Amino acid sequence: MFGLGPAELIIIAIIVILIFGARRLPDVGKGLGGAIREFRNVKKELSTTPPDTTANDDKPSETKSDTPSLESKMAEKALEQVPVIKKVMDVKKKADAVKKLIQ
């Protein structure tokens, strides 16, 4: 398993428990599982839908900003599914706002 032995896995598990706490681990696992499931659904959805091949000479092709990319879809789903990520993003936004005020 990625060249990790049992000792390394135990150390990683202890560090994760120390960071998140035993009470938060089920929430993190549930959110992570939901994000992985949603990633598979989006991947399947993108692979089954054929690309839009209608070519109009009158209009330029749509820009990528009109349709959300896979990365932006996954970021939104991760924010919805994993509560820890949402809290971190909120703290980051507040820190950015404080930086703008200081400057």
User: What is the 3-state secondary structure of 36-64?
Assistant: HHHHHHHHHHHHHCCCCCCCCCCCCCCCC
More confident residue, 74 or 97: 97
Average pLDDT of 60-83? Answer: 65
Model confidence at 101: pLDDT above 50: yes
Model confidence at 23: pLDDT above 80: yes
The number of C-alpha atoms within 13 Å of 56 and in the hemisphere containing its C-beta is: 6
The number of C-alpha atoms within 13 Å of 54 and in the hemisphere containing its C-beta is: 5
More confident residue, 61 or 20: 20
Name the residue ranges covered by the structural domains of the chain: 23-50+67-103
How does residue 64 score in pLDDT terms, banded at 50, 70 and 90? very low
Model confidence at 6: pLDDT above 80: yes
Q: How high is the pLDDT of residue 19?
A: 86
